[in-house]
Chains A and B, each alone.
Chain A
Amino acid sequence: MAEATAKKKERVHLKPKMHNSTVRPTRADKVFQIVVDVFMVLMLIIILIPLWSTVTLSFRPNTYIGTYLEGMFLAPWDWSFDAYKALLGNNGFLMAFTNSLKILVGGVFCALILTIPLAYVMSVKSLPGRKILTTIVLIPYVFDVGMIPAYLLVQNIGLMDHLAAVFLPGAISTYNVIIMRQFFDGIPAELKESARIDGCSEVQILMRIVMPLSKAIVMTIGLYYGVSFWNNFFNAMLYIQDSNLNPLPILLRNILMAAGMNEYVEVSAFGNAPIEAIKAASVFMSAIPMVIAYPFIQKYFTKGTMVGAVKG
């Protein structure tokens, strides 16, 4: 009962309200509360300034004169959307965005279709050879031989210049397998056993019993994979030479590294927005799928991250 009320309170305050109201807060307590609040506001400012400065920079009109510091206080009615118009009208940008979307969707699909069965099989306790399987899965996780041997593999199996080269090497993350297996381990064995007695095959048990119970973990792991594929620029840099296949992070890097825009493409291709605004706008556009998806999945990842993380 006490736990239930504590849970309810937790929605408003993380720290449960204390039931004892006979002790009045002292001066030190009040100072403590003020220090906490001031610290939180300070944190908010520290987190916000870099993000806000990038956003305002991207809306800066071509005619703007003044320092960057003043630019942060540019009134919203003076904002210009030229940089975004220029980006969305640019074929290179749209192509990179499409490539990144393909990598995201294809990657998450492949990753889940490979990770879920592996994690599930590892959680079937009666399986002969389960110990050996666990060892086989863990060895490469502990023993990382670095990037060159992996590069040679991708080269040898002919994946160079395929979008799949960006996500296939990371399509089974051992860490995610372990987290997912821990979740499957927690599903009561009686459920699976009764289905087995009713004549369900393992595949049917996975699809009909285990999957419906595992939405949160599948969302969390899917999110982890999604973030890693969307953000991955290293694999793309190694394995993709064809500029038509470049995903967003590579294009973004090219745009950011170019001292002048014309090093990357002709200035005319991006219209008349200021170069700095184009850079900031492409930063923001690359982050936008993460920012949009983020509130929806936030509740899942906090739950998922805590799986097996802390006990007492």
Chain B
Amino acid sequence: MQRKDAAITVPKPNLKREIVRHKDVYLLLLIPFVFYIVFKYVPIFNAQIAFKDFRARDGVIGSAWIGFQNFQDFFNSFYFWELLRNTLFYSFGKIIISLPVSIILSIAIYECTHYALRKTVQTLAYLPHFLSWVIMYGVLFALLSPSSGILNDIIKLFGGTPIDFLSSVKAFPWVVLLSDAWKEMGWSAIIFIAALMNIDVSLFEAAMVEGANSWQRVRYITLPSIKPVIVTVLLLKIGTILDAGFNQMYMLYSPQVYSVADIIDTWVYRQGLLNFQFGLATAVGLFKGIIGMLLVLVSNRLVSKFSEGSSLF
């Protein structure tokens, strides 16, 4: 096909002629491209204020350069380690809890033989992914509120003292990790279900003839079959390890639990947009962006090495 086309139009592809031939393609690109530059590249240009003493009056370009002062201020502040610790804690915690949960859920959905039960669980499990964290906060409040939440009703029923889950330093991290697992487990299971449906059923049949029971088939056929997908998902998650979930944290946290709840993004938000320390906040955002970029590039490289065709780009 390619050869035929070349034979009809040009013997040797001529760049100028090729560009002219595609002029309406470029026209089609024009508006999205300009939009892309404005909304994606101007912010990168604006990020220069990380190296400046930003004053709104002087603007992005007019503010004075101060080198790495903002970065130094951040690295030397005692917040730095706390923010990094909390961010990594929540990122890894979410992986450790929700990865096994979504794998087990996907296997249960795959193995379930009751059509109605399977369909109901599938439909309901995907739903919370579409609810915002504002809505989730409302749902959690009805569940966890110290005065009136259902969980505390149960605790009281057994004679315990009610716990204020959202402002207790001990309970808060669990609320964050478990509510995230509840919200996203169905959605994360989709990719594993897709992988399970690709398993060749004759493998199961052969194992059955050899005398393997259901447990052994899961252990020796199902899990090894979806291992590449599990590794891919894990690697892609590690690529975004510095995103610990701004929306969730912003809705759930309060000053009482800042010590265990403040992650890089929430801190950037408060310093930048509430305390107007634009330069400092941008420096932290930039720091996170650069580390994040390295992680994404490395994990993506590993993914494309590990399983052909699964990487994003």
The reply to whether A168 and B208 form a contact with Cβ atoms under 8 Å apart is no
In the docked arrangement, what's the CA distance between A126 and B6, Å? 11
- Chain A CB within 8 A of B191 CB: yes
Q: Are A148 and B273 in contact (CB under 8 A)?
A: yes
A128 and B45 alpha carbons, distance in the complex (Å): 27
Cβ of A1 within 8 Å of any chain B Cβ, yes or no, is no
Is B58 among interface residues, defined by CB-CB distance under 8 A?
A: no
If A33-B113, A145-B43 touch, whether A39 touches B60 (CB-CB below 8 Å) is no
Interface size class of B (residues with CB under 8 A): 35 or more
Between B125, B153, B308, the greatest number of chain A beta carbons within 10 A of the residue's beta carbon is seen for B153
Contact between A68 and B148, CB atoms less than 8 A apart: yes
Q: Is the interface of A mostly helix, strand, loop or mixed?
A: helix
Interface membership of A217, Cβ < 8 A: no
Task: Jot down 16 A-B pairs with beta carbons below 8 A, ordered by A.
Answer: A15-B196, A36-B111, A41-B117, A43-B108, A69-B154, A117-B29, A143-B289, A146-B289, A147-B285, A148-B281, A149-B45, A153-B46, A172-B32, A178-B313, A253-B134, A306-B191
Give the residue of A68, A230, A306 whose beta carbon is less than 8 angstroms from that of B194.
Answer: A306
Interface pair B28/A120, CB less than 8 Å apart: yes
Contacting B at CB under 8 A, from A109-161, are 114-115, 117-118, 120-121, 124, 126-128, 133-134, 136-138, 140, 142-153, 156-157
Interface residues of B in 162-191 (CB under 8 A from A): 182, 186, 190-191
The 8 Å CB contact of A149, one of B47, B108, B197, B247, is B47
B197→A10 contact, CB < 8 A = yes
A18-B205, A20-B209 known; A201 vs B113 contact (CB < 8 Å): no
Q: What are the residues of chain A within 8 A of B125 when measuring CB–CB?
A: 43, 47
Per-residue B-contact encoding for A65-76, CB less than 8 Å = 1, 0 else: 001111010000
List residues of A whose CB falls within 8 A of some B CB: 6, 10, 12-16, 18-20, 22-23, 25-26, 28-29, 32-33, 36-37, 39-41, 43-44, 46-51, 53-54, 57, 67-70, 72, 114-115, 117-118, 120-121, 124, 126-128, 133-134, 136-138, 140, 142-153, 156-157, 168-169, 171-172, 174-175, 178, 189-190, 193, 201-203, 206, 227, 230-234, 238, 249, 252-253, 256, 276, 279-280, 282-283, 286-287, 290-291, 294-295, 298, 302, 305-306, 308-312
